[in-house]
Amino acid sequence: MLLTNFQSHGATYEQATLLGVVLCLLTALVRYLPTQSVKYAPGPKPLPLLGNIIYFSKMLKNLPVEVPLMAKRFGGTCMMWMGSKPILMIHSLEDAHELLSKRGALTASRPRKNIFTEHVWPKILPFSPAGEEMRFFRRIYTDILGVKQSLQVRKYQNYESIISLAAFCETPDDYESHTSRFSTSVIFSAVYGARVSRLTHPIMVELQDVWTEILRNVQPGRLIIDWLPFLEKLPLRFQPWVKRADSLHARDCAVHMAFLNLLRKQIEAGIEPVCFGVNAIAHQKQEGFDDDLLLGILTAIIVAGSESTASMMQSFIKIMAMNPETQQKAQQELDRVVGPSRLPTWEDQPNLPYTRALIKELHRYSPILTFSFPHLSTDEFVYQGYTIPKDTLLLPCADNLTRDRTRYDDAKAFQPERFLGDDLEAHLSARQNDFRKRDHVNYGFGRRMCPGMPLFPTPLLSFILSS
């Protein structure tokens, strides 16, 4: 009777939530929460059935304050519970290295995608579990996003930097729009060989609307199904988030297929641009995978590249406004090395140690995400006397990791000087044996390090040099 009435009135989020709560409570009667006899890492005491949902809610309202307080109270690792799901928050660099790199055989997987993510992004590396799919993606990305390939697309970054510099001179208050256009155009040029001259173009407006909603809803804990996974067992007609995900996926694919088809026509005519998409299409022909997988490969590059670059550029502008002495030092170095008659080039980079150190400090001081992408344990193990259950979500807290006092002195201060003499490129720094010498943690850990590391820092450097 309940299902009949529910169907007759149409599936809404509120109705689905109510039904899910009822099913969850009934199911919970025969399920048990964290086994009390097992020793877990310290953390706030979970409530019956709910786990730490109240603590999570409080934390999410004020992350810059609550996350450091959590680390101070509970230490380098903190066990929390989303209902009956264990979540290990990681606050120290040493614990992150030990758990996510040295124990990568047990912790390199990703949390199971909820049904929304499965439908909206069915084939995309950041959400792929450990196994054949992950290895396939990483092999493809290693080939198409290598150092050599990244050097070939620098011309797009140079051009867009000049365009953006002119835009900043005309309307400096529109810096958010200028940085977003710069990052979007750079990554679309690198992937499809197609510039984005303005974000107000209908295609870009459509894509931005789609991305905004997707990125908002794929965040862990955003949807009711993250808290009440039993809702996913309902018939699809009672899950309105699935219908929404299918609609967003179709809209996203339509935009990318338009660019992909244009690139294929250019390849057939022998006038293809230098871009990652050409190499990806070549891989598709060699290995015979379908367009859905090809779009998943290319979409991940675009989403990661555009969002992260724009975020770091905007952080750079704000931090320079708050640190005029640092800005003056960088400007003096540029004036001394480059002079007033030309713009900096890539060849000037070795002679700009303070500017390079500033970029490293920018990545450390202002991480792209408060929490890095979560890992998942594929088996139970013991760490420092604490049990880490199978299917534990391991969540590195980037804000705390980049302010780890064992690695960074006066970590709350913006001090490029701390990286003077550190000449390693970002992708080499991330992979060096001594994890304490890493410049920042934005590219992840262990087997899940970002395969696009050689590419993503260069647009930011190009922009800063031109600024």
Contacts 24+ apart (CB under 8 A), 354-359: 354/329, 354/330, 354/416, 354/420, 355/330, 355/464, 355/465, 356/419, 356/423, 357/416, 357/417, 357/418, 357/419, 357/420, 357/422, 358/326, 358/330, 358/416, 358/464, 359/457, 359/460, 359/461, 359/464
The two three-digit tokens of residue 316, written as one number: 């750079």
Q: How far apart are CA 278 and CA 164, in angstroms?
A: 26
Q: What residues contact residue 115 under an 8 Å CB cut-off, 6+ apart?
A: 225, 232, 239, 241, 242, 245
49: left (phi over 0), alpha (psi -120 to 50) or beta: left
Residue whose entry in the numeric block shows the structure tokens 């862990």 = 220
* 3 CB-contact burial (10 Å; exposed 0-12 / middle 13-18 / buried 19+): exposed
**Helix, strand, coil percent content, the chain, rounded in steps of 5:** 60, 5, 30
Q: How far apart are CA 187 and CA 197, in angstroms?
A: 13
Contact 383, 98 (CB under 8 A): yes
Q: What residues contact residue 287 under an 8 Å CB cut-off, 6+ apart?
A: none
259: left (phi over 0), alpha (psi -120 to 50) or beta: alpha
Contacts 24+ apart (CB under 8 A), 135-142: 137/297, 137/451, 138/451, 140/280, 140/283, 140/297, 141/297, 141/301, 141/451, 141/452, 142/451
The two three-digit tokens of residue 345, written as one number: 């080039």
The two three-digit tokens of residue 53, written as one number: 């949902």
With residue 88 as reference, give the H or E element that holds it. Answer: strand 85-90
* Residue 450 assigned ligand-binding role: yes
* DSSP-derived pairing of the beta strands 375-376 and 77-82: unpaired
Q: How far apart are CA 71 and CA 77, in angstroms?
A: 8
* DSSP-derived pairing of the beta strands 381-383 and 375-376: unpaired
Q: Give the 3-state secondary structure of residue 79.
A: strand
Binding site: residue ranges? 450
Binding site for heme: residue ranges? 450
